[in-house]
Amino acid sequence: MEVAEAIKNRKSIRAFKVDPVPDGLLESIFKKAIQSPSAKNIQPWEFTVINAKTARKIGRDLGRMLANHVPINPDISVSKEWGGIYKSRARELGKALFSFLGIQRDDRENRRSHYLNMYNFFGAPNAIFIYMDEILYGYDWAIFDLGLVTQNITLLATEAGLGTCILGAPVFYPDIVRKTLNIQETKKLVVSIAVGYPDWDAEINQFKSKRASLSVFASQGQGASV
């Protein structure tokens, strides 16, 4: 699969088959993914891979926090609201996804079930936590670098016939994750990835978010040529 095809085919998968991803395949993906560029070659990324049993345990623990209305406490800043076009895009995605799922705006129970599903990695047989050392906390380039390696992982997974969903929700209560996985307190959780073989019979996997046209993002500077 060419890179362009992997970029085009990658999407957020929200339903998975129960089959676990072979360890050798995940190892191969990581070996390739860490060729990612990083500022001053600091290579800030660290990973922990979990199986279905551990993923379900973490999902239950996180779900209890949500049920008890415990405020989230992520290691990195999570903006609850943006202005302008960014707010509009976020709202459009939420509206389109819930509409696709047949969940009405006032249907609190099914909306809550959707959020619990995110904490549960959408039932994926494996998941990946990506984190960095606290010494890099506040160094924005390190976050940028983790984004690059995350993209590599998702594209390589797509090439291998796997599906992924990049998730912020499972790192909203980082202390639970660190305790369960014996991750040191000095490590800051940044993001997680659900990974497994997509269940293409699940209707939700037909949903794909839209992208604005290139003209919205790109402009030609004076005297420049594209």
Give the whole-angstrom CA distance, residue 216 versus residue 163: 29
Percent above pLDDT 70 for the chain: 97
Q: Which two tokens stand for residue 46?
A: 């660290």
Is this structure's pTM higher than 0.85?
A: yes
In the block, residue with structure tokens 């990581």: 30
Specify the 3-state DSSP secondary structure of 19.
coil
How do residues 185-203 score in pLDDT, each as one tens digit?
A: 999 999 999 999 999 999 9
Q: Split the chain (226 residues) into runs of 10 and give each run's mean pLDDT.
A: 90 96 96 97 97 96 92 87 86 88 81 88 97 93 97 98 97 96 97 98 93 87 61
pLDDT of residue 21: 95
How do residues 141-173 score in pLDDT, each as one tens digit?
A: 999 999 999 999 999 999 999 999 999 999 999
Q: How much of the chain is in helix, strand and coil states, percent to nearest 5?
A: 50, 15, 35
pLDDT of residue 224: 57
Q: Which two tokens stand for residue 111?
A: 């909306």
Specify the 3-state DSSP secondary structure of 210.
coil
In the block, residue with structure tokens 């994926």: 124
In degrees to the nearest 10, what's the CA dihedral of 55, 199, 23, 184?
-30
Give the residue from 121, 133, 111 showing the smallest Cα distance to 189.
133
